[in-house]
Structure 1
Amino acid sequence: MSSITTLTLFQFHNSRSKMWAFGQMQFAHAHISRTPGLQFYKLMGSGREPGFSPLPDWGVYAMLGVWANEQSADQFFKNAEIFKRYQAKSSEQWTIYMKPKQVKGLWSGCNPFTPSTDLDSDNPLIAVITRATIKAGKLIRFWDYVPTSQRPIMQGCKGLIYTKGIGEAPLVQMATFSLWENIDALKNYAYNSPEHQEAIRKTRKIDWYKEELFARFQPYRSEGTWGGKNVLASYLNQ
């Protein structure tokens, strides 16, 4: 069976829980790194909504995992003490299970996602992760263009279910996660948005990334809630 990927978002509301979550960006590695079946993982903070922002959202953190199989992921979410602590401290948790479809680039020097051989042809949902390490000398130019590139998302994209800016380190190591109803909705944004096309042109011209990765996934399972509801329940008939 092909490996699967999960992304879990945690919402923290009070100051004490936010401080705890921030501390886990350093201290949780000792627990998570020993998890059976976990092939690759990242703990990440997030940017303020809406859109992709350099300003941190101290209330939302993310955990990305690449697992040998779904059973390994389930065992972690059910039994791992560190995950139970995250559950106890957070007010909401939402986990999306995904199968990699297409990957280009590197993350921390490797490609952690292997395209799945077990995709569901009847499931049109698309998830996208874009991740980059920005060159120090290009930071100002990069962030100066971000508000323009995010304008279509801020105004609302047809077929966009959810999006959030996440990352390992503020300003320098950034990523976006987005969920789309189908490939046509994603392509409409990618190819018909002048702002997005200009961002691609600037990327090639200015060369502001030290490392970058683009990955598409097929979401197939959604556990927990976000904003009080299971966001993908109606799409996945859960």
Structure 2
Amino acid sequence: MTNQTAVLALINIAAGSSGWGLSRYVLGKYPFAGLQGLQFCKVLGSGFNGGFSTKPSLTKQGFFCVFDEPENAAAFLKHAAILRAYKDHSSEMFTATLQAYSSRGSWSSFPMQDLAAKPIRGPIASLTRASIRPTKAMQFWSKAKPAEVSINQASGKILTAGLGEAPYLRQATFTIWNDEQSLDRYAQEGAHLAAIKAAYGKDYFSESMFTRFVVNSAQGVWQGKYVEIA
């Protein structure tokens, strides 16, 4: 069993900190350098209002970090200067610590490691990310709006966020659900199922990763909603 632990953060940059927020994209993962046990890091933008729109948000963003063990993830959340800086410049902030129990694919050639057993009950999180082939981008985005409407109407959903490394071509979706059954119901019907079938049938992606996580802890505000999972 691996101890690999991820931290995902969602941030809404405060009105007076727009310059600081934009600088996150310029600096990228540089401010995270040297963190104990850090294996992987991505600084991410978000769609309009934190959703899945091709129109980028000017304030909502996030990051995804993977540490070698829970203790280093916990130390990051308690002591890291970059996390304090995000808090100081945000009007909303949400963080979750996660351990994968089912993952396929990779992100910039980095694969998540699975835990030995999936949860029997309780909240789970899902992260899907893809590098979209430029020649397939128009087709991919034609499927995105119906899928967004579908997920917003899905039962059992706790939180959703549309994220990305680059507009149009490198996209990710993060969601938290009451349980795995709720995610399965959403994934196996309607617009989402149609989008997945099209993506694989027409080879939309040059790289992709689909991961389900145990939510070890989560706390904060995203899109005006407070979420806490202990």
Per the normalisation by structure 1, the TM-score is 0.88
Confirm or deny: 8 A CA contact 2:29 2:41 kept in the other structure.
Answer: no
Superposed CA offset, 1:9-28 (max 9, x none) = 111131x4122112112225
Aligned equivalents of 2:98 and 2:7: distance in 1?
A: 6
Aligned to 2:138: 140
Aligned to 1:101: 101
Q: In the TM superposition, what is the alpha-carbon distance from 1:204 to its structure 2 partner?
A: 2.3
Residue 47 of structure 1 aligns with an amino acid whose one-letter code is G
Confirm or deny: 8 A CA contact 1:222 1:230 kept in the other structure.
Answer: no
Aligned equivalents of 1:92 and 1:221: distance in 2?
A: 17
Confirm or deny: 8 A CA contact 1:46 1:167 kept in the other structure.
Answer: yes
Q: In the TM superposition, what is the alpha-carbon distance from 1:50 to its structure 2 partner?
A: 6.7
1:50–1:6 CA distance, 2 compared to 1 (3 A): closer
Q: In the TM superposition, what is the alpha-carbon distance from 1:119 to its structure 2 partner?
A: 6.2
Residue 175 of structure 2 aligns with an amino acid whose one-letter code is S
Match of 1:147, SS state, is helix
Aligned equivalents of 1:117 and 1:220: distance in 2?
A: 15
Which consecutive segments of 4 or more residues in structure 1 shift more than 6 A? none
Aligned equivalents of 1:120 and 1:148: distance in 2?
A: 30
Confirm or deny: 8 A CA contact 2:127 2:211 kept in the other structure.
Answer: yes
Confirm or deny: 8 A CA contact 1:132 1:213 kept in the other structure.
Answer: yes
Aligned to 2:82: 82
Q: Hey, which of these two has a bigger chunk of strand by percent? A: 2
Q: In the TM superposition, what is the alpha-carbon distance from 1:198 to its structure 2 partner?
A: 1.5
1:229–1:55 CA distance, 2 compared to 1 (3 A): closer
Match of 1:42, SS state, is strand
Match of 1:225, SS state, is strand
Give the one of 164, 169, 174 matched to 1:177.
174
Q: In the TM superposition, what is the alpha-carbon distance from 1:83 to its structure 2 partner?
A: 2.0
Q: What stretches of structure 1 of length at least 5 have no aligned partner? A: none
Aligned equivalents of 2:110 and 2:50: distance in 1?
A: 30
Q: What stretches of structure 2 of length at least 5 have no aligned partner? A: none
Match of 1:92, SS state, is strand
Match of 1:57, SS state, is strand
1:34–1:105 CA distance, 2 compared to 1 (3 A): same
Equivalent residue pairs, number: 229
Match of 1:164, SS state, is strand
Per the normalisation by structure 2, the TM-score is 0.91
Aligned to 2:57: 57
Confirm or deny: 8 A CA contact 2:38 2:65 kept in the other structure.
Answer: yes
Alignment of 1:13-28 (within 5 A): 13-14=14-15, 16-28=16-28
- Alignment root-mean-square deviation, CA: 2.0
Aligned equivalents of 2:181 and 2:205: distance in 1?
A: 27
Percent sequence identity is 30
